[in-house]
Structures are given as structure tokens and as C-alpha cells.
Amino acid sequence: MPEGLISQIAVVTGASSGIGRQIALELAQAGANVLVHAGQNRTGAEATAAKIAALGRRAEVVMADLADPTARQTLAKTAWDWQGRLDILVNNAGADVLTGEAAGWPLEQKLAQLWRVDVEGTIFLSRALGASMADRGSGAIVNMGWDQAEHGMAGASGEMFSAVKAAVMAFSKSLARSLAPKVRVNCVAPGWIKTAWGEHASRTWQERAKRESLLGRWGTPEDVAQAVLFLASPAAGFITGHVLPVNGGLNHSSPSSDQPGHGVSPPPAAE
């Protein structure tokens, strides 16, 4: 396990469950104190914080709707003021527009929500906190992309998520140049990760997820969290401006990747 996070201060957005929770726990296990962000699920965020505290690390919960510019500003200030500095920022939060009430929204409304949360939220927090990190002299930022953004996925959901996550991935590469050499900026691009959606997915999706990975299995939240931990740690001290796919090796020969007729695709890893 990468070492060197003892007493470091981290913020993980969207950490109330799933991948975000696992990222927060991995960082805590490596020694970091973690500010746990959630948009709506306070109960889940408090459960994450309790798990971190059980590891002997400090944890605090902060609620903020990343679609709201004022809330973003408040989160950025809270993140820095919590311990008077910040060493690691993980922008994991993503809008869920495929389940609940949002599933019935028109495409334009879904896209607007994804853009506000995934893109604008990531850009604002990365720039605001990245500038403070640079002034202090060091830091690491890890953002959340999607492996299909590079190659495309058929269907309305694939079109939306590809556009949004490609923007995050491109931004991360540019910000790495802006903040070098003091702050490293990288991005993970998860593939088929078995979060809550995957646990209940139909047999068709279960088979597709395995078929489109060279390793022949779903990824897990732990797979993504361990990649984030590596990129945030001193073990990745000579890596910046990189997008790391976490997908078991994308199987480009799988016909389903480009088959028409898949009007609804599953949410990407950052839920």
C-alpha cells in the first residue's frame, strides 16, 4: 500500500456511498484525515465519517449542492479552513440523472445537471483549491472521468456522459500544466464498476460488463479507490497530467461497444 499520507488532509466529494466512500476509506487507511462531502445523503456521509473515525483518523461531513455556485464557494472555503490547509482533493461527485425523478427529465435538463455538477463543480473546486495548494507549495488533485469518453458509447446516455466526462479529462490535463510543478493533477477513467446499479443490473448488462473487459469481470469500488490512492500518494510523485483507465483493459473487439439500439446505458463509475 502506498505510504506517506500520514496526517495529510484530504477532501473527497460524493463520498456518502459507493466509490466515493471507498476512496475516502482508502485515503484514511493510508493515514489521511478526510473531509467527507455529500450533496444530499447526509446519513451516508456520516456513516463514511464514522468508518474513518474508527480507523483513528479525523473526519468531518460537509453538505453542498455542487450544481449551486454559492454552495461550491462555501465548500471550497470549508475544505481549506477545516485544518488550515489541503493536501489532496478528489473530485468524485457526479450527478445521477438515470434513476429517481431525474430519470424522467428531458435530455436537455439531464445534460444541464451533469454539466453543472460534474464539469463546473470539478473545474471550480480544482481551480480554487488548486491555487491555494500551489501557493502553499504542494498538493495532488484526482478527478473522475469515464473510459468510454475516449471511444464513445451509443445511446442518449452514452452521448451525455461521454461529452461531460471528456470535458473533465481534458480539463485535468490542462490544469496539470497550469499548476505544475507544485501541484499534480491526474484523472481516473473507470469502466464497468459494480456499484449499487450493477448489483441489480439485468443479465444483458452483467454479460456486457464482463465481455467488455479483457480481465472478464466487473471492476469494484476498491479497484477505483486504490488507483486514486496511488495517484494521490508520493508513489506517483512523477506522474501528472495523466488519465488512468481503470477498466480491466477495454476490449475494443467487443461488438456491443458500438452496437446501435442501446438507448440507455448505465451510469459511469462516479455516482
| Model confidence pLDDT, tens digit, residues 48-88 | 999 999 999 999 999 999 999 999 999 999 999 999 999 99
Instruction: Output the pLDDT for position 259.
Output: 38
Q: What is the pLDDT of residues 154-164, one digit of tens each?
A: 999 899 999 99
Q: Which three cell numbers stand for residue 196?
A: 449499487
Q: Using an 8 Å Cβ cutoff, are 236 and 205 in contact?
A: no
The vertex-112 CA angle with 65 and 80, nearest 5°, equals 30
- Mean pLDDT, rounded, of the chain: 91
The Cα–Cα gap between 89 and 44 comes to 20
Please check the confidence at residue 260 and state whether its pLDDT lies above 60. Answer: no
Radius of gyration of the chain (CA): 17
Highest mean pLDDT among 1-10, 95-104, 176-185: 176-185
Instruction: Output the pLDDT for position 3.
Output: 55
Which is more confident, 196 or 16?
Answer: 16
Q: How far is CA 258 from the centre of its chain?
A: 25
**The CATH number fitting domain 9-192+220-247, selected from 3.40.50.300, 3.40.50.720, 3.30.390.50, 3.90.1310.10:** 3.40.50.720
Instruction: Output the pLDDT for position 201.
Output: 81
Number of continuous H segments (helices) and E segments (strands) in the chain: 9, 7
- Coil vs helix vs strand at 146: coil
Which is more confident, 250 or 64?
Answer: 64
Instruction: Output the pLDDT for position 40.
Output: 95
Instruction: Output the pLDDT for position 168.
Output: 98
Instruction: Output the pLDDT for position 261.
Output: 30
Instruction: Output the pLDDT for position 202.
Output: 85
Q: Which residues pair with 88 in a beta bridge?
A: 10, 140
Stretch among 51-55, 137-141, 178-182, 264-268 having the lowest mean pLDDT: 264-268
Which is more confident, 230 or 206?
Answer: 230
Instruction: Single out the residue of 91, 94, 68, 95 nearest to residue 79, CA to CA.
Output: 91
Helix/strand/coil percent split, the chain, to 5: 50, 15, 35
Q: Using an 8 Å Cβ cutoff, are 209 and 192 in contact?
A: yes
Q: Using an 8 Å Cβ cutoff, are 156 and 176 in contact?
A: no
Please check the confidence at residue 89 and state whether its pLDDT lies above 60. Answer: yes
Instruction: Output the pLDDT for position 75.
Output: 98
Q: For cell 473530485, name the residue.
A: 91
The mean pLDDT value for 30-47 works out to: 98
Instruction: Output the pLDDT for position 98.
Output: 85
Stretch among 122-136, 195-209, 232-246 having the lowest mean pLDDT: 195-209
